[in-house]
Amino acid sequence: MKNIKTECDRCGTCCRKGGPALHIEDMRLLLNGWLKPEHLVTIRKGEPVFLLAGENPEPTRAEIVKIKGKGSEWTCLFFDTIEAGCTIYQHRPLECSLLKCWNTADLENVTGKNLLSRYDMIEPGNPVLPFIKIHEEKCSLENFASQLSGPHNKNLTQKVMTNLTDLVNTDLAIRTQACETFHLSLELELFFFGRPVFKILQQIGIEMHIVNGVCRLSC
Ligand code: SF4
């Protein structure tokens, strides 16, 4: 008879697939200092994400703030690859405490519900907020959701490529201005403004090149 798994054997597969999205229940981890904005990355509305059962990325309908990966890897920042364990186990977020790889029902029950957003974590008087507002107005990903999520980037029209180029440039300009004004680290930039648009485009095979100081995109 096939063995049925009933407990975590610490293989680390879940933690290597990426850090958890944060929920209202996780606010206490931020208030107690177990999690800090530097540990987090914002996934903006419209950014393509892999949902639990999905094979292809889909645009997220709500903003997600999640624990970021290590460097350019997906592996959760708090996963100790040598010990194969969580370095904040006693203070791990809701999704981690619910995840059982042999039965994802508990996790599915909370997925996409009561998500924390940046605005729950940023003080109302924080001077970066006006930059975030302008960034959301001028660099919304929702308008490009279908182009960003499909595996059809080779068929993008010249008009869409021009619009995406404008989006990349505006995104870079706003975040550069904010980083220079407030001396933000890369870690805080990823929390305040999410991943740069050119990084999101790389995922669907669109590369950015700088030619004579001008940004160009190619499939
Ligand atoms: S917080 Fe801990 S349990 Fe959760 S994904 Fe990261 S390493 Fe794994």
Instruction: Say if residue 194's pLDDT is above 80.
Output: yes
Total Cβ atoms within 10 A of residue 62: 12
| Domain count for the chain | 2
**Ligand 1 atom at minimum distance from 96 CA:** 4
Residue type, 164: L
Which whole number is the average pLDDT over 161-165?
90
Query: In this predicted structure, what is the pLDDT of residue 157?
Result: 81
37 CA to centre of ligand 1 in angstroms: 16
Identify whether 185 is part of a domain. yes
Ligand 1 pocket by Cβ (under 6 Å): 15, 19-20, 67, 76, 78-79, 86, 88, 92, 96
Q: Confidence band (pLDDT; 50, 70, 90) for 116?
A: very high
Q: Which range among 47-51, 55-59, 92-96, 156-160 has the greatest average pLDDT?
A: 92-96
DSSP-H helix ranges across the chain: 13-16, 27-31, 94-98, 105-110, 118-121, 129-138, 145-149, 158-182, 186-193, 197-203
- Find, among 7, 26, 43, the residue nearest to 190 by Cα: 43
The token pair at 102 is 């042999």
pLDDT in tens, 128-159: 999 999 999 999 999 887 777 666 556 678 88
Query: In this predicted structure, what is the pLDDT of residue 210?
Result: 83
Same domain? 101 vs 129: no
204 CA to centre of ligand 1 in angstroms: 27
Instruction: Say if residue 123's pLDDT is above 70.
Output: yes
Cα Rg for the chain, rounded, in angstroms?
19
Identify whether 4 is part of a domain. no
Same domain? 161 vs 184: yes
Ligand 1 atom 2: residue of nearest CA: 86
Cα 96-107-22 angle, rounded to 5 deg: 55
Same domain? 91 vs 41: yes
Question: Residue for token digits 């995922």?
Answer: 203
**pTM score of the predicted model:** 0.90
The token pair at 73 is 């890897």
Identify whether 6 is part of a domain. no
Instruction: Say if residue 79's pLDDT is above 90.
Output: yes
Query: In this predicted structure, what is the pLDDT of residue 153?
Result: 59
Do 122 and 36 touch, CB atoms closer than 8 A? no
Same domain? 18 vs 102: yes
d(CA 77, CA 87): 9
Which whole number is the average pLDDT over 4-16?
85
159 CA to centre of ligand 1 in angstroms: 42
Same domain? 108 vs 155: no
Same domain? 66 vs 145: no
Identify whether 194 is part of a domain. yes
Same domain? 35 vs 113: yes
Identify whether 8 is part of a domain. no
Same domain? 139 vs 64: no
The percent of residues above 90 in pLDDT, for the chain, comes to 64
58: containing domain? 13-118
Same domain? 150 vs 203: yes
Question: Residue for token digits 């008879």?
Answer: 1
Single residue among 96, 118, 140 that ends a domain in this structure? 118
